[in-house]
């Protein structure tokens, strides 16, 4: 009876990654400040412009949207912001 070879024999053995030296501890954000999913609709031309602007500024789209919403709320509904 022949011994069946494992299909994983050719894989390299992974070396454990070195421990980071003096990596700063990052504190967890407060529960109320975590990012939450948001689904909405937008005209296609605005969506494309948002994507281009985020690429131009090397920022995430959500960061641009958060900035725009925050500016709007500060201007028109300051009492709603904490």
Say what the pTM is.
0.59
pLDDT band, very low/low/confident/very high, at 10 (cuts 50, 70, 90): low
Asked if 72 and 64 touch (Cβ cutoff 8 Å), the reply is no
Residues 51 and 61 sit within 8 Å (Cβ to Cβ)? yes
Q: Is residue 48 part of a domain?
A: yes
**Which pLDDT band holds residue 55 (cuts at 50, 70, 90)?**
very high
Domain carrying residue 76: 41-80
Instruction: Indicate whether 8 belongs to any domain.
Output: no
Assigned domain for 23 exists: no
Q: How confident is the model at residue 6 (pLDDT cuts 50, 70, 90)?
A: confident
Q: What are the helix (H) ranges across 22-82?
A: 44-57, 61-76
Total tally of structural domains belonging to the chain: 1
Q: Is residue 5 part of a domain?
A: no
d(CA 74, CA 61): 20
34, part of any domain: no
Tokens 């960061």 -> residue: 63
If you search the block for the tokens 């725009």, which residue do you land on?
Answer: 68
Three-class SS state of 6: coil
In a domain, 45, yes or no: yes
Whether residue 63 is contained in a domain is answered as yes
């Amino acid at each position: 009876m022949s011994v069946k070879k494992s299909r994983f024999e050719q894989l390299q053995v992974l070396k454990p990654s070195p421990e980071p030296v003096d990596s700063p501890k990052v504190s967890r954000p407060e529960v109320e400040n975590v990012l939450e999913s948001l689904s909405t609709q937008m005209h296609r031309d605005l969506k494309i412009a948002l994507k281009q602007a985020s690429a131009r500024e090397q920022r995430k789209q959500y960061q641009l949207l958060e900035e725009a919403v925050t500016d709007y709320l500060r201007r028109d509904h300051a009492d709603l912001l904490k």
